[in-house]
Structures are given as C-alpha cells and as structure tokens.
Amino acid sequence: MLVSEISRDERRDRFHYLLESGLNVVLLAETDGRLVGELTLALGNPNPTQIGFGVHPQWRRRGVGRMLLGHAIAWADANGIHKLSAEVMSHNAAALALLGEFGFVEEGYLVNQFRRKAGGANDAVLLARTAA
Ligand SMILES: CC(C)(COP(=O)(O)OP(=O)(O)OC[C@H]1O[C@@H](n2cnc3c(N)ncnc32)[C@H](O)[C@@H]1OP(=O)(O)O)[C@@H](O)C(=O)NCCC(=O)NCCS
C-alpha cells in the first residue's frame, strides 16, 4: 500500500480503472517483482496532463521518485504533451522539492482541495511545467 489512507482494494480498483480507460499512462517501478513506486499521467488534451505519484515508504529517498518523474517528463516530451501539472498537499516538502527540481513552478494555491478520511481537508499547491 503506497498511500496510508487508501486501502489495497481501493488501489487495485483504481489501477483497473486507469488502465482500462485508455486515458492514462501508468509508470511502475519494481524491484525483484515487487511494486515500489508508481506514477500516473492522466492525459488531458487540450488541458494539461495531470500527474500523481508515490513511492513505497520503505523505498523512499533512494531515487525512485526522481527516476519515475524523469521518465514521465521524457515520455511527455516525446508525445507532444504541452503541459504537465500536479496538485500536491501544501505541507508535502518531499514532492514540492522533487517537482521543483524538474522545473515545476507554483501556479496556484487550492484551499481545502483534498478531503481527509478523518475529517476536514488539506490545502494543495498547483504546480506545472510547460514543455520547452
Ligand atoms: C514524494 C515522493 C514520491 C518522493 O519519492 P522518493 O523516491 O523518496 O524521492 P527521491 O529519492 O527520488 O528524492 C528526490 C529528491 O526529492 C527531494 N526529497 C525526497 N524526499 C524528501 C523529503 N522527505 N524531504 C525533503 N525533500 C525530499 C530531495 O530533493 C531528493 O533529492 P536528494 O535525495 O538527492 O536530496 C515520496 O516521498 C512519496 O511517495 N510521498 C507520498 C506520496 C506523494 O507525496 N506523492 C506526490 C504527490 S502526487
């Protein structure tokens, strides 16, 4: 399970939906047959293509996120994607730093964007990267 508030069944259902819709590209990072990270590009022509990604907690800080994002940008550039965007919780220092490294810049601040199961909602930062 990559994200603590999402159950394994929910995650499996989401993957099936993503893969069957034909509107998404999913990059997987695995080692010894174990999934350690994933990145989804939700294709958005003519809107920006939105990305979301996660690395298994035990595999963080070993370059998996950087590798996934690098491949995603290469794929986007090779396929004529004009703009990538990501919504990241405002307190998510890791994702903000990683996206900034790849040229994503802040375009907006989204209040109460992500509902929490425990109640309430988290603010998010909208980041984007326009192709050269
Ligand atoms: C964000 C996330 C994907 C990073 O994955 P990762 O594999 O640990 O990242 P990397 O090892 O490739 O790190 C690349 C760079 O990101 C930054 N970074 C990563 N983790 C960080 C942390 N905890 N604090 C600050 N910066 C961090 C650093 O600049 C790092 O470079 P360095 O290790 O050379 O200093 C991972 O923390 C994660 O899955 N978080 C939960 C899900 C999430 O936040 N998804 C993104 C929003 S859609």
Q: Summarize pLDDT for 1-50 with one digit per residue, the tens.
A: 344 455 778 878 877 887 788 889 999 999 999 999 999 999 998 999 99
Asked if 53 and 29 count as a contact pair (C-beta separation under 8 A), the reply is no
What angle (nearest 5°) sits at the alpha carbon of residue 56, between those of residues 102 and 122?
Answer: 70
Residue 63 carries which DSSP code? S
97 Cα–ligand 1 center, Å: 7
Residue 51 Cβ < 6 Å to ligand 1? no
Average pLDDT, the chain: 92
Q: Rounded to an integer, what distance in angstroms lies between the CA atom of residue 18 and that of residue 37?
A: 16
Q: List, in order, residues 6 or more apart from 53 with CB less than 8 Å away.
A: 37, 38, 39, 40, 65, 68, 69, 72, 95
Supply the residue whose CA is at minimum distance from atom 19 of ligand 1. Answer: 94
Q: What is the pTM of this model?
A: 0.90
